[in-house]
Structures are given as C-alpha cells and as structure tokens.
Amino acid sequence: MLRLITDFDGPIIDVSERYYRVYQFCLEKIRRPNQPVQELSKTEFWQMKRARIPEKQIAMNSGLDAAQSQEFAQLRRQTVHTEPYFQYDSLMPGAINALSKIQAAGVDLAVMTMRRVWELDYAFKKYDLGRFFPENRCYCLSNDYVKTRDIEDKPLLMARALAELPPARDTWMVGDTEADITAAKKHDIKVMAVESGIRDRIQLKLYHPDFIIPDLTFAVDFILKNASTAHEQLAIR
C-alpha cells in the first residue's frame, strides 16, 4: 500500500488572508490615536511571514514602537486562531482535484496538522473534506492540548500515526514548514516541502527536505508517476 500523509494548512488550505486580516486588526488595535503607521500590503506582509521575520519586527516595520510591538505580538498570538478569522481561509488552487486524483488511484490518505479538532472540523464542514480523510486518518491536536512548539509537537503526532496506521510499503509526507520536515525525517519518511505555504524556499532548504516542489498538485503527480524511483529521478530543484 502506498500512503500520503499531508499537512493541512499550506498544501490544502491557504491561510494568508486570515493572517493578513489579523495583522491589520492588531495594527489598528495597538496604534495610538492619530499615530501614523505604515500598513504593509498583503504581499509585503506574507513575504515577511514566509521568511520567518519575527512578529515584533513586522510590527516595527509597520510603524509601532518597541513596547507596542510586544503588545502586537501578544495580541496576534491570542487572535490568529480564533473562530471569527477562520472564515478568511480558502482552498489552495487545485487542492481538491489533487486529493480526488490520488484517492482514485487507491493511495491511502491521511492528514496531519497542528490545528485543534474544532479548527479542523470547521474547514472539513465548509469544504466537505471528510470525503478524503475519514476519522481514523485524521491526526490533529485535541481542543485542550497545551502546545509547546510545532517542531516538537508534530513529531509526536507522527509517532502516534505510525503506531496506529496499517503498514504501508511506501509513505510520503507533504508539508510546508520545518515542523513537517522534522517530523518526517525523525521517522525516516520521505518528505516533500511545498512552496505554496507559510515558508519560502530559503527557509525550507534549511531543513533539508527530500524535495522542494510548488504545491500539492505537483506532489500528487510526482508520487503517482515516480513513487518507486523518486530519489533517483528528482533532486531538490
């Protein structure tokens, strides 16, 4: 059996609008009355996020002072994963077609995400994604889970998945962050990093995925065509 374990945000869901709306909210909330600020465009903001520019630096680049930037970062953390903002998430172009294609090919599909149960359920209901991922193929955080860091928490999810899932002759991981790459490599699973998510190519390269690819569509096509000889046929581009 061939298996694909995919991250959720990045390969399947575009979170850039949610993150940008939260940025705009926090900037407006923290600025003093009549204080001039320089609101970043969405493109500018998302480039900084993908390059892992710290939240405080993003705030200062927008015209806030050091103390305000601390408040900004704290408010952002408190806000970005709250229900009112999840409506701004959208499907990645081609994601549904890619999932349909690999499901039709008989590949075992699983999703592994740092979303909590309610956050994943929200998107599943909105986009009818349960048809691709039955409950026993969904690995996420419980609603009361106390997070540490994704790069530490995600390998724990991977360990749980590998203990519970039936054996597979070949397993691939697709994700968009260092946490995905680390989780896969720690458990000797081949990993493709997609450039469609919250990390740019420079950041992804630092963690040495097997391949860096554009998006989930490319990953699915590659897996279906080249699963048995992947390492011989494709190098990190």
Partners of 218 in beta bridges? none
Fold of 2-14+90-233: Rossmann fold (3.40.50)
What is the C-alpha to C-alpha distance for residues 118 and 140, in angstroms, rounded to an integer? Answer: 10
What is the C-alpha to C-alpha distance for residues 27 and 38, in angstroms, rounded to an integer? Answer: 9
Structure tokens at 220: 């699915």
Q: How far is CA 182 from the centre of its chain?
A: 13
| Residue type, position 71, single letter | E
Encode 150-189: b = buried (16+ Cβ within 10 Å), e = exposed. Answer: beebbbebbeebeeebeebeebbbbbbbbbbbbbbbeeeb
Encode 49-72: b = buried (16+ Cβ within 10 Å), e = exposed. Answer: bbeeeebbebbeebbbeeebbebb
Which CA distances in Å does 170 have to 44, 100, 220, 224, 232? Answer: 39, 20, 14, 12, 15
Per-residue confidence of the chain (237 residues) as pLDDT tens digits? 999 999 999 999 999 999 999 999 999 999 999 999 999 999 999 999 999 999 999 999 999 999 999 999 999 999 999 999 999 999 999 999 999 999 999 999 999 999 999 999 999 999 999 999 999 999 999 999 988 889 999 999 999 999 999 999 999 999 999 999 999 999 999 999 999 999 999 999 999 999 999 999 999 999 998 764 544 444 445
Domain spans of the chain, in order of start = 2-14+90-233, 16-86
Residue that has been written with the tokens 């995400």 in this structure: 113
Q: Please report how many Cα atoms fall inside a 13 Å half-sphere around the Cα of residue 103, on the Cβ side.
A: 17
What is the C-alpha to C-alpha distance for residues 131 and 45, in angstroms, rounded to an integer? Answer: 34
Q: How far is CA 183 from the centre of its chain?
A: 13
pTM of the entire structure?
A: 0.92
pLDDT given at position 227: 61
Would you report the helix, strand and coil content of the chain in percent, each value rounded to 5?
50, 15, 30
Tell me how long the chain is: 237
- The single-letter DSSP state of residue 187 is T
Give the residue among 116, 105, 63 at the shortest CA–CA distance from 227: 105
